[in-house]
């Protein structure tokens, strides 16, 4: 028996109406191996509370309801498919993995309209909203060098400097948001974001003072 680590994200998002979330514990209880909520971290567990033994646990992440499992692959695939079927029946919309193309990244596909909440569910943010937030943060960050350029004689940024800085900052924030939404394991999220930020600082330093002596090095 070979136990392996598995992960998946389902389109049961944290921002969905409370009426939907109230049904989730009932779905948990219908699944094989249900044990309950672990007292210390309040997370649901199946098969075992020990991370060293065969187990499944779940938590809400920015990308949706996240499952982490340690078990045989074939058993995991059967269990995961069963959860999707039970959740779809109880919640009334198609439950699946957006990352696998089973369902949409932002919209719910309602199978049973009678179970749809009477008030509109809050939609997940689309590209335009993320872009607006990233652009707004970039704008406010650039106010710092703008003020310095106006009031400090030794600080003299030109239009090109502001354009390059804006592009770099927006790229940094965009990659961080993408990583946060798409990387399944939280520990890997922070590692990757740390690497991205470190690379950003190196690029910024090279453009500013030329620590590597590339053709793009600054003065």
* Residues 68/73/79/85 CA torsion (nearest 10 deg): 100
Residues 153 and 196 occupy one common structural domain? yes
Residues 15 and 99 occupy one common structural domain? yes
Residues 99 and 185 occupy one common structural domain? no
Place of tokens 């999707």: 84
Is 109 inside any structural domain?
yes
Q: Which of 93, 115, 137 marks a domain boundary?
A: 115
- Assign 136 a pLDDT band (cuts: 50, 70, 90): very high
pLDDT in tens, 40-99: 989 999 999 999 999 999 999 877 899 999 999 999 999 999 999 999 999 999 999 999
Report how far residue 102's alpha carbon sits from residue 11's, in angstroms, rounded to the nearest whole number.
10
Domain range for 92: 4-115
Mean per-residue pLDDT over the chain, rounded: 88
For residue 179, give Cα distances in angstroms to 16, 17, 183. Answer: 22, 26, 5
Which whole number is the average pLDDT over 190-211?
A: 85
Residues 49 and 134 occupy one common structural domain? no
CA 37 to chain centre: 23
Report how far residue 95's alpha carbon sits from residue 65's, in angstroms, rounded to the nearest whole number.
10
Residues 92 and 175 occupy one common structural domain? no
pLDDT in tens, 14-44: 888 889 999 999 999 999 999 999 999 899 9
Q: Which range (4-8, 34-38, 211-215) has the least confidence?
A: 211-215
Residues contacting residue 210 through CB under 8 Å, at least 6 positions apart: 217, 218, 219
- The number of folded domains in the chain is 2
pTM above 0.85, yes or no: no
């Amino acid at each position: 028996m070979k136990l392996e680590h598995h992960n998946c994200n389902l389109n049961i998002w944290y921002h969905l109406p409370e009426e939907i979330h109230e049904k989730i514990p009932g779905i948990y209880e219908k699944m094989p191996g249900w044990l309950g909520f672990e007292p210390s971290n309040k997370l649901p567990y199946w098969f075992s509370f020990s991370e060293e033994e065969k187990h499944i646990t779940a938590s809400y992440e920015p990308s949706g309801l996240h499952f982490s499992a340690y078990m045989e692959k074939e058993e995991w695939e059967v269990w995961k498919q069963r959860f999707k079927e039970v959740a779809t029946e109880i919640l009334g919309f198609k439950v699946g993995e957006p990352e696998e193309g089973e369902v949409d990244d932002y919209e719910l596909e309602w199978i049973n309209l009678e179970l749809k909440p009477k008030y509109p569910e809050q939609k997940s943010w689309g590209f335009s909203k993320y872009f607006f937030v990233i652009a707004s943060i970039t704008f406010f960050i650039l106010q710092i060098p703008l003020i310095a350029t106006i009031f400090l004689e030794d600080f003299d940024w030109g239009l090109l400097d502001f354009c390059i800085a804006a592009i770099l900052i927006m790229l940094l924030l965009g990659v961080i948001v993408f990583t946060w939404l798409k990387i399944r394991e939280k520990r890997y999220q922070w590692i990757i974001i740390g690497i991205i930020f470190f690379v950003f600082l190196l690029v910024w330093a090279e453009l500013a003072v030329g620590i590597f002596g590339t053709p793009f090095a600054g003065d």
